Amino acid sequence: MTILDGLATSKQIKNEIAVEVSQLVAAGKKRPHLAAVLIGDDGASLTYVGSKVKSCEEVGFKSTLIHKGSETTEAEILAIVDQLNNDDDIDGYILQLPFPKHIDEHKVLMAVDPDKDVDGFHPENIGKMALSLPCFLPATPAGIIELLARYKVPTEGKHCVVIGRSHIVGLPVAILLQRNTYPGNCTVTIAHSRTKDLKALCATADIIIAALGKPEFVTADMVKEGAVVVDVGITRVADASKKSGFKILGDVKYDEVAPKTSYITPVPGGVGPMTIVSLMRNTLLAMKNRG
């Protein structure tokens, strides 16, 4: 059993990016600049944005955090988006979701310039991904793909079961893994809440991508001996023994599943850090695309 160490891999990739940024800046190019828009004070969102800003520093990017109160109107957010679209120094930016309930997230997303959409959430980028065209891949699926690639995990002809059909993880990772490339060429099954006999289906899988957001859902009896298991779940569960008051659980019951697998991602330290690194890679790409 090999642990797919997302933390170590993400550090390595950050080093690679930092070296490239130094070289670009030394050659007179501009420093990549990522902006993040955060509305309100959701604890998890604050943590995520904080990690992204810190990662920008580590790789030598400029970063700008635009943090507004939860009473911010949709019109005000659209004005921020318009300003970011037109700011020549900003190479890419992200909208930290969820927004407060009175904001139409879709309307705001559609206002994002696809060329600055480093989250890869705009329909034009999703469509290009499906058509195997150059684009910004959504960060979590791209992080999973990169992790499989770095560990040279075989994928061709493998049966991959993706549990969960969300627009930001399940569906795009399914699309990526069926593509005619490496990592890819999997026979992909998309499973979800309406799937019948999910246990039996998972037990046939060579690769399981668990992205349903239910802590410790995938148990040992659902996993074939030698399978590859990628755990996308990150659920906060109250834990009085922790200083933070909570612990992070994945979608996989790690202790009993891990011994059966050929490769498995831990939580934390698996897919999470790879997601942030994908965002850094997209930002660097955006800067290069803009010449």
Contacts to a copy of itself by CB under 8 A: 106, 122-133, 135, 156-157, 159, 165, 167, 171-172, 174-175, 178-180, 185, 187-192, 194-196, 201
Element at 289 (helix H, strand E): helix 271-289
Q: Which of 211, 170, 249 is nearest to 178 (CA)?
A: 170
Tokens 């999910």 sit on residue? 198
3-state secondary structure of 220: helix
The least distance separating a copy of itself from the CB of residue 282, rounded to whole angstroms, comes to 16
- By C-beta, is 87 or 124 nearer to a copy of itself? 124
Tell me the closest approach of the beta carbon of residue 162 to a copy of itself, in angstroms.
10
Q: Where are the beta strands (DSSP E) in 130-244?
A: 159-163, 187-191, 207-210, 228-231, 235-238
How do strand 235-238 and strand 246-249 relate by DSSP bridges?
antiparallel
Q: Is 230 helix (H, G, I), strand (E, B) or coil?
A: strand
Q: Which of 168, 173, 286, 160 lies closest to 227 in space, CA to CA?
A: 160
Least distance to a copy of itself, CB of residue 60, Å: 32
CB of 271 to a copy of itself, least distance (A): 21
Q: Please choose, from the candidates 143, 185, 186, 141, the residue with its C-alpha nearest in 3D space to the C-alpha of residue 166.
A: 141
Q: What is the largest CA-CA distance in the chain?
A: 58
Is 11 or 179 the residue whose CB approaches a copy of itself more closely? 179
Q: Which residues are known catalytic residues? A: 52, 96, 119
Contact 189, 165 (CB under 8 A): no
User: Among residues 193 and 241, whose Cβ is nearest to a copy of itself?
Assistant: 193
Distance of closest approach, residue 287 Cβ to a copy of itself, in angstroms: 22
| CA–CA dist 159, 179 (Å, integer) | 13
Looking at the Cβ atoms of 160 and 287, the one nearer to a copy of itself is 160
- Please tell me the distance from the alpha carbon of residue 133 to that of residue 120, in angstroms, as a whole number: 13
- Give the nearer residue to a copy of itself in terms of CB position, either 54 or 199: 199
Tell the smallest beta-carbon distance from residue 179 to a copy of itself (Å): 8
**Cα–Cα distance between 202 and 223 in angstroms, integer?**
6
Q: Which helix (H) or strand (E) holds 246?
A: strand 246-249
